[in-house]
Structures are given as C-alpha cells and as structure tokens.
Structure 1
Amino acid sequence: MATPSEKLAQSLDVLKSLQDRGIVAIRTGSMTRTHRERLLKSGFIQEVMKGWYIPTRPDEPSGESTAWYASFWSFVADYLSERFGQEWCLSPEQSIAIHVGNWTVPKQLLVRTPKGGNKPTKLLHNTSIFDLRLDISAKEIEENEGLRIMSLPTALIACTPAQYTNHPVEMRAALSSISDASDILRNLLSGNHSTIAGRLAGALRNIGREQLADTIVETMKSAGYTINENDPFEERSTIHFSTREVSPYVNRLKIMWETFRKPILKDFPTPPEPITDIDTYLQKLDEIFVTDAYHSLSIEGYRVSEELIEHVRGGNWNPDSTPVDREHHNALAARGYWQAFQAVKDSVRKVLDKENAGEIAKSDHGTWYRELFGPSVVAGIIEAADLAGYRNRPVYIRKSMHTPPNWESVRELTPTFFELLENEENAQVRVVLGHFIFVYIHPYVDGNGRMGRFLMNLMLASGGYNWLVIPVERRNEYMSALEAASVHQDIKPFTHYLAELVDTTT
C-alpha cells in the first residue's frame, strides 16, 4: 500500500505533466478528484474560481498574492482560450500596454469577444475579467505570450481619448514606435475615422513626429475628409523621437525618466556642498556598514544580527565549515554584502574624485553583483554561471502587481538606463531614479533591491549627500512607494519617502 508521501508524489507527477505542457489554468477535469484534493490540501495548487486552479508553492503564506500575480497572464490566456476559442482579444487600452512592455496586472482586465456576457468574472486578490460582447476582426489581432491583442495601429485607433491623459507614458511610447503611417491610414480610411485621424495627427506632432502627422492629415484630406487636428495630451512632450528609435520599451523608459524629473526636482532636497574630505566620508561609510547591512538584508528577508555581520566582516568565517541551512544562507548573504560594500566604496571614491557617477555605476555594478553572490558560489549554493550577467528568464516581485520587463528587453533597457544616468545633470534625479528604474527593470534574478540601494547611495555621494539607510521598520512604506511608481506611474510617494530620510541624515 502506498504511503502518504508516495501518493503525493503521484499527484505531483500529474501536476508536472500539465506544467510541462505549458498549462497554467488547471481545469477540474484536468486531473482526478483524488489528485486535485491532495494537491490542494498540500498547497501545490490554489483555487482561482469554481473549477479553475493555478500551481502554487506550499511554503507561500496564506493570503499571499505572489503566485497569483506571477500566474495572471498565463492563466488569463489559457482561461479565455478555453472559454472563447480564438474569438477574443484584449481591449485596445490593454493591448497598447502590452505592446509597450507594461505587464502590470490590472484590477479589471477588459476583453472583447462576440461571445461575451457583458459581466465581470471575479478572480483572486480583487482582480477580475470583464468580457464585452463586441465583434472582433481576426486580421487585426496578433499574439503575444499567448495573449490575443489588437495590432498597434488598430488599438491606437480604437482606444478612447481619455487614454492619452490617463496613461500619457504608454501612449507616447506606443506612438513613438510607429515608423510608417501606412497601416494606420489603411484603417482610418476604411473606417471613415476622420475625427480619430485628427487626434492621432495631433498626438504624433506632440512627440515630434511631424512628417507622420502631415502624412495622415494630407492623405485623409486627399480622400475627401475634413480633418480638425487636435492634441489629446495635456502637456507638450519634452522628448522628440527620431524614426530610428522604434523600440517601445526603450522609448517608454526615456519618457518615464523625463516625466518623473519634474516632481523629483520639486520635492527632493537640494544637494548640499560637494564632498571635499574624501577619506572622512569613506570612514563614515565604514562606521555605518553594520547598520546598513542589517537593515538592507532584513528588508530582503534574511535574518541577520549585528553580531553575525561583525563576525563575517572580520573574516572569521569559513563558507565550507557549516551545513547549508537557513543560518548558513544568512551568513553567506552577510559575507556577500560585506564584499559588495567594499566594491561600492571603491566606486564612491571614484565619484568623489569627480568621475561621472553614471559611468562609474555602469562600469562597476557588475563587480558589486559578483561580490554580493561570490560566497554563495564558493559554498556551491549557486552556479558560477549565474554571475555571468543579466537574467535570462522571467522574474516576479513578491506581492507586487508589477511584472518586470521580459528578459529579452533587459538587454536594451539596462544600457539605456545607464545612459540616462550618465547624462542626468541633477543629483536628485539620479538618486531617486537610479534606485527606482533599476529595480523596475529588475536585470538580475536576485539581489536587485540591494543593488538598487547601492546605486542610490552612489548617486547620493555624487550629490554630496550622506549615505542613506532604508530602515527595515519602514519596509512596507518603502515597498508601497515603489509599487506606486511601478504600477501607477506616480513617483511622488517614493520621492517623498527618500526625501524625508535624507533630511534626517543631514
């Protein structure tokens, strides 16, 4: 007779076979009741709605949202395809978000389908799907990660005017990726969309695409339409994009940077006098190390004490001397933090010697990362290849609705980020966006929070500010402020949060 462990192993084999086929939305009929109840009881699956489940981790706390946010888009793709076959697509507004790389989980996902019931379907953690009964055209739909979305020209024509004022970053990024007016004009002419043509022309002119705007207006007029051009954005764009810059991911990042500058410059403390006594500044960093390491590691969930940090700092610790358990992981993290901190200090010295802070961050951050996880490589916990560079798989942030950009786009976003950092003249902007944009991109599988705080402090040094410790006691406020910037494009809470802490260090 099989033991309980053997029975669970049998059920896990069934779950694995589904996952190997790429199935995330698990239907009741996908496995027997016995397997389903066993996996549910053991915490390996979670019910989303009656008859539908997702895989979860048994060690995830009850009520935790991470598994759901990580599964959301794959679940939606499977679920909608099961319900509607090929006769569905995301709304024009959500399609545009996907086109420009914004995978933030929405509170309510709008879907168009001729089979829709015009009613919401409740999902986990206050999310839902609303299926609108509307006809769709298969030739105007394309697939992205299993999701059926409108083509960009179709979505731009179908979206509401309010989208320009509610989501200006996304709309400018989408418009900036249009290099030719042909597809847009084809849809405008076939649909007799003279009003929309005037709005699109005004929007394109707003971002400096004068030639595209002129082409739309002149072509529509030559077809007998009267065009009243109007700009749907509330403000003029300060960035003009050339036709060579067609990546919506890169352009969206540039727009975010420029959009966030104004509130940061308004609310962040003016830089103090430049640091002249470099040795004294670096000595203060040595004095604050224990406090900084304790709080930074605690924010990431490590359980470390000041005594442990002092122990590994002194070198009286052998990574091979103790078994690999939770305490050992904590010690490895503490030792890695010490080594990375020394590398960051070297970078700080260069910046205080008047080298460009963005250039130093670009050239040195790889060294920080290797030092951060070097002890774990020595201990055999992670492979040396994991230190080779940026991530090559998806990552998800615990409890966050923000889904970091796909790993392919990291290769173009990260160089753009450092270019923006190099060219930014204001230390206040470098401080806030140096941290935020780095963790927004999430270029590494692990350690992004610690790396982001190191970047923040390098930029603080470049502006003459003191080193800043993010207190673990205010972790929830810190994470909430980052979430507001990532999900709602509101940098003010994070700016105010850091500004308040900076004021206490001066």
Structure 2
Amino acid sequence: MATPVAVRTATPAQRRLATALEALRTLQEQGRSVFNTGEFSRADREALVGAGFLQPVIQGWYMSASPSAKAGDTTPWIAGMKDFIAAYCNARFGSDWCVSAEYSLKLHAGTTLLPKQVVVHAPLGKNGVLDLPNGFSLMDYQARDFPAADRRDSVGNLRTMTLAQALLKVPENFFRASAEDAQVALLSISDASELSRVLAEGNHGTVAGRLAGAFRAVGRDAIADDIVGFMRALGNQVTEANPFETPLRIVPGDRIESPYVSRLRLMWASMRDDAASAFPLKEPGRPDDVAAYMRAVEDAYVTDAYHSLSIEGYRVTPELIRRVANGDWNEDIHEQDHQSRDAMAAHGYWLAHNEVKASIQSIFAGANAGNVLKGDHGAWFRAMFSPSVTAGLLAASDLAGYRGHQVYIRNAQHVPPPREAVREMMPVLFELLRDEPSAAVRAVLGHFMFVFIHPYMDGNGRLGRFLMNAMLASGGFPWTVLRLEDRDRYMAALNSASGQGDIKPFAAFIAQSLGAASGAQARSPRSDPRG
C-alpha cells in the first residue's frame, strides 16, 4: 500500500507574505528600489519588513533588502543610497533641486565614492540635516541663487549642476582637497566654449583666473589661453593663479578620454612610485630553471587555493582541494560535489590555475606580461566558472565577457564603475601593464586596479590575485600566497587605496607577503595548507 504524501498548506502568515511580495515585485519591475509608506498597505509593509525584504531608511521611507543580509552589512544601503536621495528629493522638491557644486563635479568626474553627507541645493530647502543609515546624512540647503534649468544636468538618477556651472561654483579649496576629482573633470573638457558662456554672465574675473591656472596645471594650455583671452576681451581683469597645492602628474596628449579612463591613468601615475618603493630588492629576473619555477608554483597550489578561496568565503577543505588537484573530483559519482557551490569553486580554481600557469610560461618565453594578460584573462575567468555552467548553476551566456550590470563590494564605500566604463577602462589597464617596467608595480597596481574596476560578475578577487602572481612571475619573484589570517589587513589596505588613494598599505602588504613566500616554499604546503 502506497504511503500517503502529506500536502503542505501555507500558513496565513505565508499567504500574507506572498501577497506582499507580489506588490513589491510590481514596484521593482518599474526599476525601483526605494518606496514611501503609502505605496504599500500596512499589512504588506509589515510582512515585508518582518521577513527582511524591506528595510526602513527614515520614517515613511523604505528600500529593498535581502533577508540573507547579515547584521552590519552596509551593501544594501550603498547600493540604494542614490536611489533614495533621488526619490526623496523628487518627492519634496519636484525637479527644483540638484546636488552641490562639489558633488556635481565629483559625479561628472566619475567618482566611485559616496560622500558621508550629500548636500542638496533647492529653493525650498530648509537648511536641515537628515540622518541616514550607516552614518550618512542629507542636508537640504536653501539656495537663493539656484541655477537655471540650462545650468542643471543629471548623472544617473541624481540631479546635478552642469560641469561648467560646478566649476564656476566650487570653492578654491576644492582643487586642493579633491585634486584628483578636479583634474579628471578638467581633462574631460574639450574646449572653453561652455565655460566661457558661464563666465561671461557676471563678474567672474577671479574665477576665470583660477580656472585658467587649473587648466594650465593639467596640461591644457589652449583652454587656459582661450579663457584668459575671452575674459580680457570683455574688459575683465584676469590674473591667472594655479589653485592646486602640489604639482600634478600630467597625463600626456590632448585626447579627450572618459573620466573613468583619466582617473585610471592618474591613479597609476600618482601611485606607482609608492608601490615601487615598497620593493627595495632587485628583481630576480627570468628564472634560469623554468621547470623548477613551475614545479614550485604547482607545489604551492593547495596552499594558495585554500587561502584564496577561503578569503572569498568559500568553505573549502584541504581534502576537497587535493581531490580536485588529483583528478578525484567527479560530480557524477559524488552527489555532494554536484550540488556544492564550494566544490564548484574549488574545481574552477584548479582549472583557472592551470590557465595562469600557461600564461606564466608565455611570459617566460619572452612575451610582454601586459599583452599576455590582455589575451589570457578571459580564459582564466571562463575556466574558473565553467564547472558552474556544466552543473547548470550558471548560464553559458554568463561567461560571455565583462559584467552587464552594476556590482557592489560588501561593506566598501567604493562603488565599482558602471558597466559601460569597464569596457573603456580594461584596455587602458592592459596598456599600463604593458608599458610599466617594474614587475612589482605591475603586481601591486595591476591587482588593485583590477578589483577597483571589478570587470566580472564574480571572481574578481581570485582573478586579481592570479594577476598579481603572473606579474610577480614576470620579474622572477616566487608565487605568493595571501593568507586567510591576513584577510582583514588585506581588505583594509584595498579600501585605503580605493577610498583615500593611499596605495602604501597595500604595497607594503604585498611586499611582506612576497617576503614570506620563500620561507613558505621551504615547507611542504601539501602537508598543511594552513601553514
């Protein structure tokens, strides 16, 4: 006699949540992630908040959330902060608002950082400060000289001043406090036409002199001359003055590039000396015994895989890594292998590691390291995630190239560039790697800038560490493991570089890890991958 199958019946609370989720889905399908209290019934709102699908921002306002988000995780807020500011300000001020000149300029310059306080200018502002989650705030400034419609613009969903208007309005100390943003903004301007129109409407001789000095400081002499000549022709007294505090790294050439590309070039130029100084030792150069070097890379595999995967949060074991490396991983035989995300990660890491070894062999054969990375990094990525495609966990189209959507880094204030910028920035990264003479600089800045760009939907940290080791190998340095127990320091150093522009902690961390690599190789990593 067949055993009767129990039929589960949804509880009233589950049915209520299902109804609430339908209401939320309808709003989210409009591309929205921020909502005011009137858009849900009280029952739906309470069900969604209770289940973790909505989280309150301020009284009367909510944003989408994930029930799996951990306490203290700032990622949902970082992902939705701009959406909230736009929705809240549109509700309060209609279209008559824009962010401050300083933040407008930063947005036009492609900033990847969110300010702790966003200042909004609006004729109906109250000069009040609204506390927001995670230590952020919003100030609504009552703007008596609110810019006309043709002096306002938008970047994403935030209303801004035009770049010309922002340059007119930012105070002089902006060029000292936010020199990189100012330089990127100036480099994105092709001629003086729009600035001249703004400067002509009012007594702006002092500002004209400041902007002329700023353009000359970044190597745009023609624009500086045009501004001075135009203003003097109108009868204005113009005294040119450089507002930057320290000499700038001038990006060669007159070609106008996207702000993201200009920022990448400026970051490399400003960081390379600090990165190089962290490595006082002479590069070993191409190893005489390439086979011995490659055996050492292979010997380090288990240790490297354990630490690199564990840094990313995969719960892999040394036993699983050995099975994969020894060919004893079989998803058809081991059901747990087929179902395990961690097993997929371990198998993909092994396949990608083999691709990286082939790239190192090409470098040792005389190929330029930057060119090798340009040609091979896609194969590394595809190898890393091919097991997940085979198992049906990812679609084959997910491996088609760079990411097609915005991504966020957990608990980081840096927001990776938009997907459109990735396709502009990656060729420039390869160019910088190709032309950089120092293997240590290639390793440090290559790793940092790869994860800064975050070109793929997943795996960027692992690929960044592979890149680092390929670049170290190009100078004859040994394979270097970044260890799990150093994860907090590693992440803090990356955040320091992306948030404050200070590469020194990250360069020092890589140099110290490299210094420990020779000692680690003297032990048998296969006997204890945790060292």
Q: 1:166 to 1:317 in 2, by over 3 A?
A: same
Choose which of 119, 125, 129 in structure 1 pairs with 2:134: 125
User: Contact between 2:126 and 2:141, CA under 8 Å: does it hold in 1?
Assistant: yes
Contact 1:89 1:113 in 2 (8 A): yes
Which position in structure 2 is the counterpart of 1:210? 221
In structure 1, C-alpha distance between the alignment counterparts of 2:35 and 2:280, rounded to whole Å: 51
Report what 1:168 is aligned to.
179
Q: Secondary structure at the match of 1:129?
A: strand
Q: Distance in 2 between the 1:196 and 1:25 partners? A: 39
Q: Look up the match of 2:417.
A: 405
1-structure distance, mates of 2:335, 2:50: 31
2:138 is paired with a residue whose SS is strand
Q: Does 1:285 align with 2:297?
A: yes
Confirm or deny that 1:465 pairs with 2:477. Answer: yes
Name the residue aligned to 2:451. 439
Change (3 A) 1:380 1:321: farther
Question: In the TM superposition, what is the alpha-carbon distance from 1:230 to its structure 2 partner?
Answer: 1.1
| TM-score normalised by the chain length of structure 2 | 0.92
Structure 1 residues 178 and 361 mapped into 2: Cα distance closer, same or farther (>3 Å)? same
1:325 positional shift: 8.4
1:366 alignment partner, SS class = helix
Determine if contact 2:331/2:338 at 8 Å carries over to the other structure. Answer: no
CA displacement 1:276-320 (0-9 Å, x = unmatched) = 221111101111100100011011110001110001112222234
The 5 A counterparts of 1:43-442 are 43-135=52-144, 136-137=146-147, 138-274=149-285, 275-322=287-334, 328-442=340-454
Shift of the alpha carbon at 1:327?
A: 6.3
CA contact (8 A) 1:205 1:213 kept: yes
Structure 2 regions of 5+ residues with no counterpart?
A: 1-9, 519-531
The answer to whether the 8 Å contact 2:338/2:391 transfers is: no
What SS does the aligned partner of 1:112 have? strand
TM-score (norm 1): 0.97
Counterpart code for 2:248: S
Distance 1:475 1:49 in 2: 34
User: Which whole-Å CA distance do the structure 2 matches of 1:321 and 1:375 have between them?
Assistant: 15
SS of alignment partner, residue 62 of structure 2: strand
Query: C-alpha distance in 1, partners of 2:87/2:230?
Result: 41
- For residue 158 of structure 1, report the CA deviation from its aligned partner: 0.9
Question: 2: CA distance between counterparts of 1:454 and 1:179?
Answer: 38
Letter paired with 1:237: L
> Does the CA-based 8 Å contact 2:120-2:139 persist in structure 1?
yes
- 1:116–1:133 CA contact under 8 A, matched in 2: yes
Q: Is the 8 A contact 2:122 2:143 kept in 1?
A: yes
Say which SS state the counterpart of residue 349 (structure 1) adopts: helix
Asked whether the equivalents of residues 209 and 240 of structure 1 are also in contact (C-alpha less than 8 Å), the reply is no
CA distance in 2, matches of 1:500, 1:206: 37
Q: Secondary structure at the match of 2:135?
A: coil
CA contact (8 A) 1:88 1:114 kept: yes
Q: How far apart in 1 are the matches of 2:105 and 2:13?
A: 49
Deviates more, 1:261-270 or 1:220-229: 261-270
5+ residue gaps, structure 1, are none
For each residue in 1:11-35, what CA deviation from the matched residue of structure 2 results, as whole angstroms up to 9, or x when unmatched? 1111111111222221111101111
1:478 aligned residue: 490
Q: For the pair shown, which has the larger CA radius of gyration, 1 or 2?
A: 2
Query: Which residue identity is paired with 1:502?
Result: L
Bigger mean CA deviation after superposition, 263-272 or 422-431 = 263-272
Q: Is the 8 A contact 1:271 1:464 kept in 2?
A: no
- For the residue of structure 2 that corresponds to 1:125, the secondary structure is helix
Measured in 2, the distance between the counterparts of 1:325 and 1:112 equals: 56
Structure 2 CA distance, aligned partners of 1:467 and 1:114?
Answer: 59
Determine the C-alpha separation between the residues in 2 that align with 1:273 and 1:32. Answer: 68
More divergent stretch after superposition (263-272 vs 370-379)? 263-272
Q: Which residue identity is paired with 1:217?
A: V
323-332 vs 182-191, which moves further? 323-332
Contact 1:176 1:241 survives alignment (8 Å): no
Between 230-239 and 4-13, the greater mean CA deviation after superposition: 230-239
What is the rounded CA distance, in whole Å, between the counterparts of 1:20 and 1:345 in structure 2? 44
Per-residue CA distance 1:203-233 (angstroms, 9 max, x = gap): 1111111111001111111111111111111
Deviation, structure 1 residue 323: 5.0
**Matches of 2:313 and 2:92, distance apart in 1:** 40
SS of 1:74's partner is helix
2:17 alignment partner in structure 1: 8
| Cα gap change, 1:324 to 1:146, in 2 (>3 Å) | farther
Question: Deviations along 1:101-126, whole A, 9 cap, x unmatched?
Answer: 21322111111111222221111110
Q: 1:74 to 1:428 in 2, by over 3 A?
A: same
CA distance in structure 1 between the partners assigned to 2:154 and 2:245 by the alignment = 32
Alignment RMSD = 1.6
Moved more, 37-46 or 315-324: 315-324
Letter in 2 for 1:192: N
Q: Give, in angstroms, the shift of residue 322 of structure 1.
A: 4.9
SS across alignment from 1:316: coil
TM-superposed CA distance for 1:4, in Å, is: 2.4
Q: Is the 8 A contact 1:178 1:246 kept in 2?
A: no
Structure 1: how far apart are the matches of 2:168 and 2:418?
A: 26
